[in-house]
Chains A and B, each alone.
Chain A
Amino acid sequence: MMRPLTPLQKIIAYSALLFVFFWTLFGLFTIWLILTEY
């Protein structure tokens, strides 16, 4: 079992997750770009 994250660790981990989420949206945007190019 995993020990719980400290508040600072939570801030780092969830910020990274949020960043990844927005970057995934950017990835989807890129797919749309490429698909609409042809």
Chain B
Amino acid sequence: MKLSAEARDILETSMRIHKVDDKQRDEIESVVAAMPDDRVLLYKNVVSNPIGDLPRYSIHIRIQHMLTFVTFLTLAFTGLPIAFFDHFWAAPLNAMIGGVDVSRIIHRTLASVMIFSMLYHMVTITLGPIQQMMQGRFELRRTIIPTFKDIRDFKQDMLYFTGSSDQRPEMDKFMYKQKIHYFAAAFGNLVMIISGSSFLFPEFWATVLPVSMVANFQEMMRLSHPHEALLALLVIAFWHWYNVHLAPGRFPMQWTFLTGKITREHQIEEHFLEYLRNLVELPEERAYLLSQLDARGLDGLDKDEENMPGGSAVEATEGSTP
């Protein structure tokens, strides 16, 4: 495969960070050279373990996701009958939990856990990069911080989805969609915390805000709390769950939130630049890919030789699957 300038830069940076010796460099270069130019052909010909092959999330991120996941659902479940307490259906729900007073206690306790999870996350995303900087292996483009490349990736992906391009963009560890989702969730958390705290501590907000704003602020918070909750429910139910449960290649469930690992197929398809880093960081991945390309007769394949859809090569070599 002939790497793009961007991919080459990622590979060179990763090799420099990991101080690879000449032997390892030759090995990495030979694996890259053996990869077919068509990445569809590449990811359709690797074997993936559905619960994940390559490292993606640390245990801290997984714990934070689990805390957010549990608190989000239970907060929605307890919050709704509180917001609509005078509706006929809310009474039995509140009664099931132990009455609206108990619902409120559960809701506030879970809110504290959610805030703890957010603080825990902030510590992780601060200390993690500091540690990486001290070790000289920090890369801004490997983080969730949006860059101009995301706009280019979005455009290229739309071209691919409308049939105007035959390749998805070479995306990094976090793609544009995940960045939008992440910052939307961070903003939503902030809105819920501020508005929720304005119900619990109105005196506090009255002391820190200008007198002319206090009444309007309380009214705005009273409106934004349930509406932001609804927006979050919609985003989770129709966007996030589509992406991690129903999307082709993810059905019936993406296991990353439990195992912290991503499948090889997914990494190559949507996070190809991160896969290049994997090739530098994981010698066993290099060995696997080289053997797989060799076994399937794909090594050194160029565009002229391919001339067939990704599926054909898969079918032709089905028997050689280990």
Binding site for B on A (CB under 8 A): 1-5, 9-10, 12-14, 16-17, 20, 23-24, 26-27, 30-31, 33-34, 37
Number of interface residues of B (CB under 8 A): 32
Taking A16-B245, A31-B230, A31-B234 as contacts, is the C-beta distance between A3 and B48 under 8 angstroms?
yes
Which residues of chain B are within 8 angstroms of A33 by Cβ–Cβ distance? 80, 84, 87
**Are A20 and B48 within 8 A (Cβ)?**
no
A34-B235 Cα distance, complex, nearest whole Å: 16
Instruction: List chain B residues, Cβ under 8 A from A27.
Output: 233-234, 236-238
Residues of B within 8 A of A (CB): 44-51, 73, 76-77, 80, 84, 87, 226-227, 230, 233-234, 236-238, 241, 245, 249, 252-253, 255, 263, 265, 314, 321
The 8 closest A-B pairs by CB, nearest first: A27-B237, A13-B253, A13-B252, A24-B237, A27-B233, A17-B252, A20-B241, A16-B253
| A2 CB → nearest B CB, Å | 5
A34/B227 in contact, CB under 8 A:
yes
> A33 to B252, alpha carbons, bound, how many Å?
30
CB nearest to B234 among chain A residues: A27
Query: Shortest CB–CB separation between residue B10 and chain A, in angstroms?
Result: 26
Cβ-defined contact, A16 with B314, below 8 A: no
Instruction: Please determine whether A12 and B253 come into contact, CB atoms closer than 8 angstroms.
Output: yes
On chain A, the residues within 8 Å of B44 by CB distance are: 1
Structural contact, A1 and B47, CB atoms closer than 8 A = yes
B321 pairs with A1, CB closer than 8 A: yes
Check if B48 sits within 8 Å of A1, measured CB to CB.
yes
Do the beta carbons of A34 and B252 come within 8 Å of each other? no
CA distance A10 to B249 in the complex (A): 15
The answer to whether residues A30 and B265 also contact, given A3-B47, A3-B50, A17-B252 and a CB cut-off of 8 A, is: no
Closest chain A residue to B237, Cβ basis: A27
Q: A9-B51, A13-B253, A33-B87 are in contact. List 16 more A-B contacts (CB 8 A).
A: A1-B46, A1-B47, A1-B48, A2-B249, A3-B49, A12-B253, A16-B252, A17-B245, A23-B73, A23-B237, A26-B76, A26-B77, A30-B230, A30-B233, A31-B230, A31-B234
